[in-house]
Amino acid sequence: MKVNKIMALQLMLSMTLVLGMASCSKKSSSSASRATGWDVNKINGTAQNVSNKKQQAGPGLVFVEGGTFTMGKVQDDVMHDWNNTPTQQHVQSFYMDETEVTNMMYLEYLEWLKKVFPPTEENYKHIYEGASPDTLVWRNRLGYNETMTNNYLRHPAYANYPVVGVNWIQAVEFSKWRTNRVNEALLEKRGYLKKGAKTSDVSAESNFNTDTYLLAPTSTFGGNEEIVLKEGKKVKRAKKGETAEEPKNVYAQRSSGILLPEYRLPTEAEWEYAAAADVGQREYNIYKGQKKYPWSGDYTRSAKRGTRGDQLANFKQGNGDYGGIAGWSDDGADITNEVKKYPANDFGLYDMAGNVAEWVADVYRPLIDNEGNDFNYFRGNQYAKNKIGKDGKIEIVTKENIKYDTLSNGKIVARNFPGDIAQVPVDEQETYLRQNFSTSDNINYRDGDKQSSKYYDFGASDAEVTPAEKAKQAMYNSPKHNVTTDSLGNMVRKYDKSSKRTTLINDNVRVYKGGSWRDRAYWLDPAQRRYFPQDMATDYIGFRCAMSRVGPKTERRKSPRN
């Protein structure tokens, strides 16, 4: 008996030893390349990030797991637009802002611009003004709204209300700024940027841009090596009597897994998918029914015992009824309302119906071309590349070569900021003999280009068509307002008064979604779509940001039900 116990103990010790050796062997070979067998952490003395890092959600974002859905499916079409043809689409996983961008968030952007690009300086005087929301959108010929005109953007009572008066171009620029500030903070946290530099050392000639850091880190913060550090927290400090360890990563790279993808406006497909949140109706691999609104059911009032009768979104309930009578539990708002005042949908997103309508990235067209693409559908691609200077290096924007655009309404906005990388359209170097794209501007692909119009002549060349004929053959005969500057620097506005225009659709109108405090319940359907000029703003359109997901589609194992 005693002998059996000793043999059993020896067997257990042997198994433990074998498992331990296997574990050590596995650990020691974890950095070995599956291609060559080399230790990739010692190639050229540079550490390689071989771990499968999971993307972290950026500030303010929630995860939206991608999937298939029926885009453009509405129950009503009272406007008879016929611009909602149901199509089956698949959206890749992404992140989206939990709420609409608020006045407080946008004011942070304005204050940064004012500090870094002082409006008092001639070179920068249009940057702050071009980014500022149009507060005059609140004015009404037959209504007294001066209180909102003067207070809505800056008064602390409206701090957590969605920002309005922002056009599509301004929303895109805010998203770019947000990308840079978030990545700047991440690099500082990891020791790649001097602590506190983002507030104490920032200026027009010395600031951070994500793309510039990745491609030309020595040009970031004006090339100041005291701010842009050549090592991160991975480098151990040398103890007394030891030799200091060589830096593993001179600068952070995409392979470091630190930097996040860009903040941007969501595509129309992403926004509609996230708003519909059909995942709440899912059982196994099918959707059980179709929802009319971002919440379950066909009604706008809550059926829950504690909140029964309350409106589930902020919208116009009838003529002259923006919030019910005083003292009644209705939508609780007459204009916009503070974010998170209404229940979130099944993705955890707030105000995907009502409060303010929201800009999306897409150029508007009456139909969605699902025959052209049914994966991550988006119309509006304009591909660009980094501009290379005469010295063979990428060209960084400075205060001398900053570009401004004059919009059709006369507003002047900055096309780029000092510290950015200058961009130019892609050319034959990138498009030659490609099957997936052939031009830089793809806005009119399969809808509005020459090949899709009745004037297309297969055998003719573009050289045979005069500019005047091209203008006549345009798919969308929209007004063409023009703003120029005379020899004295005065702005000359030329309003198109032609009586022959047949549409307001052109390449500069963008889709907006979701209904608003000014809209009836009809517009709360996630599939409803409207358009507005990208350089104009209103008191009922705001926006929220999105971010692409890198890595796996899901964050959890699939389950039969929710």
Query: Where are the chain's structural domains?
Result: 58-186+258-377+511-556, 191-253, 381-440
Which pLDDT does position 238 carry in this prediction? 52
Token pair in block for residue 46: 């540079």
Do residues 545 and 178 make contact, with C-beta atoms less than 8 angstroms apart? yes
Half-sphere exposure of residue 258: CA atoms within 13 angstroms, side-chain side? 24
Closest to 124 in 3D by CA, of 474, 323, 418 = 418
Token pair in block for residue 62: 């929630």
Q: Which of 280-284, 450-454, 458-462, 502-506 has the lowest mean pLDDT?
A: 458-462
In this structure, what DSSP letter does residue 124 have? G
The C-alpha atoms of residue 210 and residue 550 are separated, in whole angstroms, by 17
In 10 A of CB 339, how many CB atoms? 21
Task: Tell me the β-bridge partners of 140.
Answer: 143
Say which residue, 94 or 232, is predicted with more confidence.
94
CATH topology of domain 58-186+258-377+511-556: paralog of FGE (formylglycine-generating enzyme) (3.90.1580)
Helix (H), strand (E) at residue 27: helix 2-28
* pLDDT tens, position by position, 403-427: 888 888 888 898 889 999 999 999 9
Average pLDDT over residues 502-509: 92
The C-alpha atoms of residue 69 and residue 272 are separated, in whole angstroms, by 9
Q: Which residues contact 220 (CB under 8 A, 6 or more apart)?
A: 208, 209, 212, 213, 227, 228, 419
Task: Give the DSSP per-residue string, 280-339.
Answer: GGEETTEE-S--SSSSSSS-SB--STTTTT-BSS----BTTBSS-STTS-S---SS---T
* pLDDT tens, position by position, 98-129: 999 999 999 999 999 999 999 999 889 899 99
Say which residue, 33 or 249, is predicted with more confidence.
33
Average pLDDT over residues 156-171: 97
The C-alpha atoms of residue 408 and residue 483 are separated, in whole angstroms, by 6
The C-alpha atoms of residue 281 and residue 441 are separated, in whole angstroms, by 39
Please state, in angstroms and as integers, the Cα–Cα distance from residue 175 to each residue in 27, 169, 246, 518, following that order. 42, 10, 37, 26
Task: Give the DSSP per-residue string, 499-548.
Answer: S----S-STTEEEEES--TTS-GGGGSTT--EEEETT---SSEE---EEE
Rg (CA), the chain: 28
Say which residue, 473 or 164, is predicted with more confidence.
164
Helix (H), strand (E) at residue 385: strand 384-386
Average pLDDT over residues 206-222: 93
Confidence of residue 202 (pLDDT cuts 50, 70, 90): very high
Q: What angle in degrees, to the nearest 10, is found between the helix axes of 103-116 and 168-189? A: 80
In this structure, what DSSP letter does residue 89 have? E
Task: Report the amino acid identity of residue 382.
Answer: Q
Say which residue, 514 or 31, is predicted with more confidence.
514
In 10 A of CB 344, how many CB atoms? 17
Do residues 252 and 259 make contact, with C-beta atoms less than 8 angstroms apart? yes
Give the β-pairing of 546-548 and 263-264.
antiparallel
CA atoms 528, 534, 536, 539: torsion sign: positive
Strand, coil or helix: what is 489? coil
Q: What is the pTM of this model?
A: 0.89
10 Å CB burial of residue 1 (0-12, 13-18, 19+) is exposed
In 10 A of CB 86, how many CB atoms? 13
Strand, coil or helix: what is 406? strand
* pLDDT tens, position by position, 373-386: 999 999 999 999 99
Instruction: Kindly tell me if the per-residue pLDDT of 9 is higher than 90.
Output: no
Average pLDDT over residues 362-379: 92
Q: Which residues contact 456 (CB under 8 A, 6 or more apart)?
A: 450
Task: Report the amino acid identity of residue 463.
Answer: A
The C-alpha atoms of residue 353 and residue 521 are separated, in whole angstroms, by 9
The C-alpha atoms of residue 524 and residue 222 are separated, in whole angstroms, by 48
Closest to 527 in 3D by CA, of 307, 277, 331 = 277
Which pLDDT does position 249 carry in this prediction? 58
Instruction: Kindly tell me if the per-residue pLDDT of 77 is higher than 50.
Output: yes
Task: Spell out the long-range contacts of 458-465 with Cβ–Cβ below 8 A and sequence spacing 24 or more.
Answer: none
Q: Which of 349-353, 442-446, 553-557 has the lowest mean pLDDT?
A: 553-557
Confidence of residue 26 (pLDDT cuts 50, 70, 90): very low
The C-alpha atoms of residue 140 and residue 538 are separated, in whole angstroms, by 12
